[in-house]
Structures are given as C-alpha cells and as structure tokens.
Amino acid sequence: MEVRLRHKIAAGFLAFGFAACQTAPNVRAIAPLEPGARYVAMGSSFAAGPGVGEKSPNAHPNCGQSTSNYPKLLARNLKLELVDVTCGGAMTANILTISQHNGLLPQIESITPETRLVTVTIGGNDLLLARDLGIASCNNIIAAQSARTKCQDCLPRLSGDFA
C-alpha cells in the first residue's frame, strides 16, 4: 500500500509540473545550442546506462557509466562538450548536497556559468523503484510452483559459485 501511495504522489507532482509548464506566462524561445556548448548530465543509472554498450573509461569505476548512455549520444549528435557526472545508485541528495563516492562532489557542482544545457534524470532510487521491481519479479516467480522448485534447486549452486 505504501508503494502505491508513493507512486500516486509522484504521478500527482508530475501532472502538476506538466500543467505548470503548459500555462507558464511569458515563455520565450531559447537560442539553439552552438556546437561545443557545455552540457552537464546529472543523474542515476537511468542516465548512466550501465550495461548499455561498453563501460566508460573516464567515469568513476563505481558509477557504471556507459559509452552509449543517452547523455553521450545526445552530446555526440548535437556536437556538445559533455560533462557526464551520472552515477548508478544516485539519489536526489547526491545531485544537490552529498558526495556519492570518495572523490566525487555533489553532481550539481559540475554546473558552471559556461554551462548551456543540463539534463537531470533522478528519482528512481529515492522511490525505491528497483527494489519494488525486484519484489514484483520475485513474487511472480515464486507464485509458479515449477519456478519455485527450479529456484530451490538452483540457489545452493549459485551460493557455492559466488561464495
């Protein structure tokens, strides 16, 4: 029940945000980005893209950044100078105030006066979405008797392999 309430609250905020954007007065067009403009990508694994292509050699080893994550694709397509500070497991506090790993500042510190584009992809870890997906997946598997039997046979072997 608690998870559903959180999802309803999050959906309400999103709906309010979209409505506010639709009715914003005095909206003016923004100039197109020039090639080489500074682009800062902030966020969690949804933006870092672990498992999507090769692991990025320039990223913090615990962040799981991919060479094919959407910030890198966007920067390449628009010919922007990318500062990719996305990091798997990041929460809103890691964007704003708290270092996620040794040697990493809060992601917002990467924004400078020269920054022309910022993307923020955050919130899934704050809402524990990965945990909820895992619970739902496990419940579906356990509900099927044959799957339960297979899991019981398989778990001791996995435990031995990864001990």
Do residues 42 and 88 both lie within one domain?
A: yes
86 found inside a domain: yes
**Predicted pLDDT of residue 163:** 46
In this structure, which long-range contacts are made by residues 71-79, counting pairs with CB atoms below 8 Å and at least 24 apart in sequence? Answer: 71/39, 71/41, 71/47, 71/119, 74/39, 74/41, 74/119, 75/39, 75/41, 78/33, 78/35, 78/37, 78/39, 79/35, 79/36
Residue with more model confidence, 29 or 107: 107
Task: Answer yes or no: do 133 and 108 share one domain.
Answer: no
Owning domain of residue 144: 129-162
Indicate whether 116 pLDDT > 60.
yes
Tell me the pTM. 0.63
Most confident of 8-12, 59-63, 115-119, 155-159: 115-119
For residue range 130-157, what is the model confidence (pLDDT) as tens digits? 555 555 455 554 455 555 565 666 666 6
On whether residue 85 sits in a domain, the answer given is yes
pLDDT at 47 > cutoff 60:
yes
